[in-house]
Amino acid sequence: MAVKGSKYRQLFTGLAFIGPNIAGVFTFVIFPVLFAILLAFSNWDLTKHNIFKDEPLYFVGLDNFTRLFNEGDFVRFLLNTLFLMMGIPFCVAGSLFCAMMLNKDNRGGGGKIYLYLTASALLFVGCIMLTLVGMGASAMTLLLAGVGGTVLISGLGFGQTIFRTLFYMPHFTTGVATYLLWKKLYDPYDGPINNVLNPVLGYVEAGVKVAPSPIVYMMHLALVVVVPVMFAFVLKRVYRWWQDGDLGSQGAFVTILITCIPIAVLVMKFSGFVHWTGKLEAVAIGGASVVMLLLFAIKWWNGKPFQIVEGMYGFGSALAFSLLMLVLMFIAIGLSMVVGNLPEMAQSGLEAPHWLTDYHWAKPSLMIMGFWAAIGSNNMLLYLAALTNVPKGLYEAAEIDGAGRFQTFWNVTWPQLAPTTFFIAVMSTIGGLQGGFEAARTMTEGGPSGATTTLSYYIYMEGFQTGRLSFSAALAWALFILVFTITLFNWKFGNRYVND
Amino acid sequence: MKYIFLSIFLVLLLATFALLSSYPENNTTTPTLYWVTDANPARKDQVEGFQEWLVKHNHVNDDNEPAVQLKLDTANRSDDKIIIQGVSGIGGDILDTYGGTGIRFLGKIGMLDDVTEHAKANGYDVSQTYAPMKEELMVNGKQYGFPCNVGAQIFWVNKDILEEHNQPIPSLNWTVEEFEKLGKAYIKSANKPGERQKNFYMDRIDLILIYRSMGFSSFNETLTATQYNDERFIKSLRLLHKWTYEDRILPSASDIASFNSQQGYGGANLQLFYRGNYAMIQTGRYALIQLRKFGAMNLAAVRPPYLDYPNTVVGTRSAVVYVAGKHKEYAKLFLAYLASEDYNMRIVKTADALPPNPEYTKVEEFLKPKDYPNEWGCHEVFSDAANEIGIGYVYSPYVLRQQMNRYEGDAINAVMSNRMSAEKAASQLQQQVMADIKHNVNLKKYALPELVEQYHKDVELQNKIDELKKQGKKIPLSYIKNPFYRKYYQDKGMVE
C-alpha cells in the first residue's frame, strides 16, 4: 500500500515540476503557432481586429501567400537572408578548426611560465613608457600585438583551458554589446579595422601604380585560372566518388551543374558573347550536360566497371561539397575582378570599405561579424566533445597505414564527426534562416536601403509597425516551410551516421 | 531538491508581492496616471506643473492635495510597445504620439478616446493651437489629442563658427542657390585641403523641404495617388545626392557613423553643432534644452532655403488619451493643462519647442529670455515660420504612412548609396505606394466599404481637378484635401 501511495506522490511531484513548463509551452509556443496558421489565412489587421474593434474577420485563402510573391520585398529580404547564410559553411569549418586546435595540449614546460610572465611585464612597461613620451599610437599597436602574444603565451603556459574560455567568450557576451562593439570596429574613418586596412591599401595603391601593367594582368589571369582548376578538382572528386559507388548519377550531375555556374559566368564574361547575358542557367545546364557525357565517355573508354548505386545516393555530401566549392570559386572570380580593376581603382585612390553604411558591404560586414561569433559558439563545444569520442585506435591504424595529417583527417576524423556535423548543419541552417533580427535592429535598422533586412526583421516590421498581422503570419509560415523543407532535405541527404 | 525548488518559489512569490506593493498606486488612495513619453529632462518640470495646476483649479481631494498623481513612463515610448500594450488593454493613460501618423494609426486601432466635446468644453480644441495642427490632431472631424509642443523645422546657425571662418550668416529667407554657394564657400574655408573633411555646413535637410519648395507634394490634391515620378521630386533627390557627395555640404552616412559623440537628448547632432562640426542644424526650438546645457554660443535661426515657394514643415508631439485607461477623465484634464498658461509658460521657459498655444509666443519671456541674450532674435523665427509658412505633413487614408516612410527611406538610401538613379528610385517608389493603395481599396469583400466608396468619390473629384488644371481654371478650395496644396494654391491664387 505504501508503494502505491509513493507512486502517486512521485507522479504528483513530477507533474508539479514539469507542469509549469508544459503550461508555458502550450501558452506561449503551441497556441501561438496554431493561432498563426489561422491568422495567415485571414485578413486579420490590427487596425480592424483587436479588443476595441469588432469588424468581421474573413477567410482569404492564399491571398496573403500570393501577395508575398507579388511584392518584391519578400524575395529581396529572402535573398538577403540566404546571402548571410553563405557564411555558414565557413562558420562550421571555423568551429571545427578551432575545436581541433583546442583539442591539442599545447602547454609549455618547466620554467617557461616565468619567462612568459616577465616578457608580459616588460611589454606593459614598454607601452607605458612609449605613452609617456608621447608615442601613444605606437604604444597602442605594441599593446594590441602584445595582448595577442600574451594570449598565445598564456595558452602555452596554462594549457587549453584559457583558449577554450577565450574562444567561447563571444557566445556568452550579450549580443547587443557585441553589436555595438562591432559598429565601432566598422567605423568607416576612425574604426580599428579601416585603420589597419588603409595603410595596407596605401601600399597596394603605390605598388599597383608602379607595377608594370602586364604583371597586374598576369595576376588577374592567374586568379581566373584558379576557377577552372577548382572545377577540375571537383570533377576529379566527383568522378572518383561516382566510380567507387559513393555517388549516384543524379547526385553527380547536380554537383557538376552547381559548380558549372561560376564556369558559365567566366565563359560569358570572357567569350565576348554579350547576347548570352541573362542566359546563365542555359549555359550552366548545357555545360554540365556536356561534362557528364564526357565523364560517361571517359568511364566507358577506361573500361572500368561501374559501381551501380541509386541515382541520389551520396547526394547530401556531394551537395555540401559543391556549395562550398561554388562559394570558393565565386570568391576567386571576385578577387580576379578586383585585381583586374586595380590599376583603374588605384588611379582614383584605394579606399577601405565603408562597411555598414555601404549598400554592397553591409551584408558582408554582418557576415564577418557572424563568423566571429559563430566559430567559438556551441558548435565548437559540440565538435570538441565529438573529437574526444573518436576512437584512438582508428588514428593508430591510420598511422600504421602511413596516412598523413590530411588523410587522417579526411578518412578518420571527418567521417567520425558526421553526426555532429549533421546536427550543426541543421541547426545552423535553421538559425541562419530565422536570424539576423538583433543585428539588423541594433546596427543597421535593416539598411542601407534594405540591404540587411532579413526575413525575421521583415516579419517584425509587418507585424508591429504596420499592424498587418495576417501578412506577418503568412511570412512566418513561409519561413517555416522553408526551414522545414531544408531540414527535410538535410535529413534525407545529409550524413547522419558515422558509417554513411 | 524539492525543498530548494519550494524555497525558490516562495522567494519569487515574495518578490512579486514586494514589486506589486512598490507600484505608486498601491501606496496611496489617490488615482495614478501614467504618461508614456520620452526621456526629455523637461518632463519632470511639466509633471510638477500639472500637480500645481490641479490644485490651482481646484481638482483636489479631501486633503486638499491634487486629485490625481502623474507618473512618467519613459521606458515604453516606442511605437511598437505602445501598440502592443494598447491592444492588450494595459496601455498608459496618456500617450505621446508624433504627429498625425501616430494619431491616425492608434485611432484606426481604436485605442484613442475621442476628446472633441471635452476639448470644446475645457478650452483645448484645435482653435487654441496653430492652424496646421488641425490635420495632426483631427481625423474625420474628431479630435484625439492636443499638442505637448509644436515644432517648426528651422535651421539653427552657429554664428561663432561662421565668423571664425569669415563666412556670412545667411539671411532669414534664402534660396537654394544661395545655400549651395555659401555652403561650398564654408566647406572650403572650414576644412584643410588633403585632410579628411570633418566640418559640414548642415547636418541634414529633409527631402520634403526641398520638393515642397518647388510646389510639389508626394500626394495629389485628393490624396488618392502619389506622384513621385514628377521631375521635381527627382530633382530634389539629385540635389540631396549632389550636396552630400559632390559639394560635401551635408555629411554622408559614413561621415555620420564616424563621428564619435555621446547621444544626449536630441541626439549627437547638437553636440556636433556646438563643437562646430556642423555650422547649421535642421531641427526645432527644443534643441535649446540641450544647447543651453553646453554653454553660451552665439545663435541665429534662418528659414529653410527654397527654390520657388518658401515653406517649412510643422509637426507636433501630441498627448492622447488611452481609451481603456482607468482614469480617462483625469487624463483629459491633462490635455486641458497642456492648453493652460501654466504649461505654455513652462514650455516658453524651458524651450521645449513652441508652446502649443501661439498666443504665448508673443510674450517677452519667449522673445527675449532674460538669461539667454544669445538667443534673442531666434525664437520668433520659429513661431513666425509656424504661423506664416508652416504646413503639416500629408496623410492619405488609403495608405499607411509608416509603410510609405519605409518605401521613401529605401528610395532615398538607394540614391544616396548610388544603387539607383534618382529616376529609377522615384519610379520604384511610385510603384510601391500605388500598389499599396490599390491593394487597400481593391480588397474584394473584406475592404472597408466606406473607404472604397470614399476612394471612388475622391478619384472622381481628382478627375475634375485635373480637368480644371488643364483648362487653366481656378480650383474650388473645397475640392482640395491635401493640406500642402490647400495652402500652396491659396498662396499662388489658384483657388476659387
Q: What is the DSSP string of B351-364?
A: T-SB-SSGGGGSSH
Between A447 and B251, residue with greater pLDDT: B251
Among B residues 28-57, those touching chain A with beta carbons less than 8 Å apart: none
Question: pLDDT class for A495, splitting at 50, 70, 90?
Answer: low
DSSP assignment letter at B60: B
Residue B254 in contact with partner chain A when CB distance is under 8 A: yes
Task: Tell me which of A99-113, A198-212, B131-145, B435-449 is least confident.
Answer: A99-113
> Above pLDDT 90, what percent of chain A?
11
**Alpha-carbon gap: B334 to the closest alpha carbon of chain A (Å):** 23
Q: What is the CATH number for B171?
A: 3.40.190.10
Residue of B81, B108, B113, B254 to mutate for A, most A C-beta atoms under 10 A: B254
Q: How many residues does chain A have?
A: 500
pLDDT of residue B144: 95
Query: Which residue from B minimizes the CA distance to A449?
Result: B410
pLDDT of residue A140: 67
pLDDT of residue A410: 81
Closest CA to A468 of A478, A460, A457: A460
Mean pLDDT of chain B: 92
Greatest CA separation for chain A: 97
Q: State the average pLDDT over residues B47-64.
A: 92
> What's the rounded Cα separation, in Å, for the pair B36 and B73?
5
Task: Tell me which of A9-18, B55-64, B208-217 is least confident.
Answer: A9-18
pLDDT of residue A494: 67
Among A residues 365-424, those touching chain B with beta carbons less than 8 Å apart: none
> What's the rounded Cα separation, in Å, for the pair A89 and A320?
8
Put simply, the answer to whether A467 touches B254 (Cβ < 8 Å) is no
A154-170: per-residue pLDDT in tens? 666 666 777 777 777 77
Residue A213 in contact with partner chain B when CB distance is under 8 A: no
pLDDT surpasses 90 at B229? yes
Q: Are residues B304 and B210 in the same domain?
A: yes
**Chain B contact set for A51 (CB, 8 A):** 87-89, 324
Put simply, the answer to whether A52 touches B109 (Cβ < 8 Å) is yes
Q: Establish if B253 belongs to a structural domain.
A: yes
Q: Are residues B64 and B113 in the same domain?
A: yes
> What's the rounded Cα separation, in Å, for the pair B363 and B376?
13
Residue B90 in contact with partner chain A when CB distance is under 8 A: no
- Of B323, B353, B379, the domain-final residue: B379
Q: Are residues B347 and B308 in the same domain?
A: no
Q: Are residues B50 and B166 in the same domain?
A: no
pLDDT of residue A23: 93
Q: Establish if B190 belongs to a structural domain.
A: yes
Between A299 and B93, residue with greater pLDDT: B93
Q: Are residues B289 and B327 in the same domain?
A: no
Q: Are residues B45 and B177 in the same domain?
A: no
Residue B260 in contact with partner chain A when CB distance is under 8 A: yes
**Chain B contact set for A67 (CB, 8 A):** 439
Q: Identify the burial level of A11 via C-beta atoms within 10 angstroms of its C-beta, where 0-12 means exposed, 13-18 middle and 19 or more buried.
A: exposed
Phi-psi region of A457 (alpha: psi -120 to 50; beta: other; left: phi over 0): alpha
Q: Establish if B471 belongs to a structural domain.
A: no
Instruction: Return the HEC string of A480-492.
Output: HHHHHHHHHHHHH
Q: Are residues B120 and B167 in the same domain?
A: no
Task: Tell me which of A136-145, B139-148, B276-285, B347-356 is least confident.
Answer: A136-145
Q: How many domains does chain B have?
A: 2
- Of B379, B397, B421, the domain-final residue: B379
Instruction: Return the HEC string of chain A.
Output: CHHHHHHHHHHHHHHHHHHHHHHHHHHHHHHHHHHHHHHHCECCCCCCEECCEECCCCECCCHHHHHHHHCHHHHHHHHHHHHHHCCHHHHHHHHHHHHHHHCCCCCCCCCHHHHHHHHHHHHHHHHHHHHHCCCHHHHHHHHHHHHHHHHHHHHHHHCHHHHHHHHHHHHHCCHHHHHHHHHHHCCCCCCHHHHHHHHHHHHHHHHHHHCCHHHHHHHHHHHHHHHHHHHHHHHHHHHHHHHHCCCCHHHHHHHHHHHHHHHHHHHHHHHCCHHHCCCHHHHHHHHHHHHHHHHHHHHHHHCCCCCCCCCCCCHHHHHHHHHHHHHHHHHHHHHHHHHHHHHHHHHCCCCCCCHHHCHHHHHHHHHHHHHHHHHCCHHHHHHHHHHHCCCHHHHHHHHHCCCCHHHHHHHHHHHHCHHHHHHHHHHHHHHHHHCCHHHHHHHHCCCCCCCCCCHHHHHHHHHHHCCCHHHHHHHHHHHHHHHHHHHHHHHHHCCCCCCC
pLDDT surpasses 80 at A290? no
Q: Are residues B285 and B352 in the same domain?
A: no
pLDDT of residue B414: 92
pLDDT surpasses 50 at B430? yes
H or E element, residue B460: helix B449-470
Residue A441 in contact with partner chain B when CB distance is under 8 A: no
Residue B258 in contact with partner chain A when CB distance is under 8 A: yes
**Alpha-carbon gap: A469 to the closest alpha carbon of chain B (Å):** 12
Put simply, the answer to whether A357 touches B253 (Cβ < 8 Å) is yes
Question: pLDDT class for A500, splitting at 50, 70, 90?
Answer: very low
Residue A47 in contact with partner chain B when CB distance is under 8 A: yes
Among A residues 159-188, those touching chain B with beta carbons less than 8 Å apart: 183, 186-188
Question: pLDDT class for B88, splitting at 50, 70, 90?
Answer: very high
Considering CB atoms only, which of B5, B83, B419 is closest to A467? B83
Put simply, the answer to whether A189 touches B255 (Cβ < 8 Å) is yes
Residue A448 in contact with partner chain B when CB distance is under 8 A: yes
Q: Are residues B323 and B309 in the same domain?
A: no
Question: pLDDT class for A283, splitting at 50, 70, 90?
Answer: low
Q: Which residues pair with B475 in a beta bridge?
A: B495
H or E element, residue B212: helix B207-212
Q: Establish if B99 belongs to a structural domain.
A: yes
B362-412: per-residue pLDDT in tens? 999 999 999 999 999 999 999 999 999 999 999 999 999 888 998 999 999
**Chain A contact set for B320 (CB, 8 A):** none
**Chain B contact set for A53 (CB, 8 A):** 109-110
Q: Establish if B165 belongs to a structural domain.
A: yes
Residue showing cell 476659387: B496
* Interface A:B, Cβ pairs < 8 A: 92
Q: Are residues B172 and B116 in the same domain?
A: no
Q: Is B349 helix (H, G, I), strand (E, B) or coil?
A: helix
Q: State the average pLDDT over residues A384-390.
A: 89
pLDDT of residue A156: 64
Q: Are residues B166 and B291 in the same domain?
A: yes
Q: Establish if B143 belongs to a structural domain.
A: yes
> What's the rounded Cα separation, in Å, for the pair A179 and A133?
35
Put simply, the answer to whether B109 touches A60 (Cβ < 8 Å) is no
* Contact between A119 and A153 (Cβ < 8 Å): yes
Residue B393 in contact with partner chain A when CB distance is under 8 A: no
H or E element, residue B312: strand B312-321
Cis peptide before B132 (omega within 30 of 0): no
Q: Are residues B191 and B239 in the same domain?
A: yes
Q: Establish if B79 belongs to a structural domain.
A: yes
B96-106: per-residue pLDDT in tens? 998 888 999 99
Q: Complex ipTM above 0.90?
A: no
Domain that holds residue B301: 154-214+231-314
- Of B336, B357, B379, the domain-final residue: B379
Put simply, the answer to whether B109 touches A359 (Cβ < 8 Å) is no
**Alpha-carbon gap: A47 to the closest alpha carbon of chain B (Å):** 4
Put simply, the answer to whether A52 touches B413 (Cβ < 8 Å) is no
Query: Which residue from A minimizes the CA distance to B84?
Result: A464
Task: Tell me which of A158-167, B74-83, B159-168, B176-185 is least confident.
Answer: A158-167
Query: Which residue from A minimizes the CA distance to B409?
Result: A449
pLDDT of residue A173: 76
> What's the rounded Cα separation, in Å, for the pair A73 and B431?
13
**Chain B contact set for A56 (CB, 8 A):** 446
- Does the predicted model carry a pTM greater than 0.95? no
Query: Which residue from A minimizes the CA distance to B425?
Result: A449
Q: Establish if B354 belongs to a structural domain.
A: yes
> What's the rounded Cα separation, in Å, for the pair A458 and B406?
11
pLDDT surpasses 50 at B174? yes
Closest CA to B172 of B23, B486, B388: B388
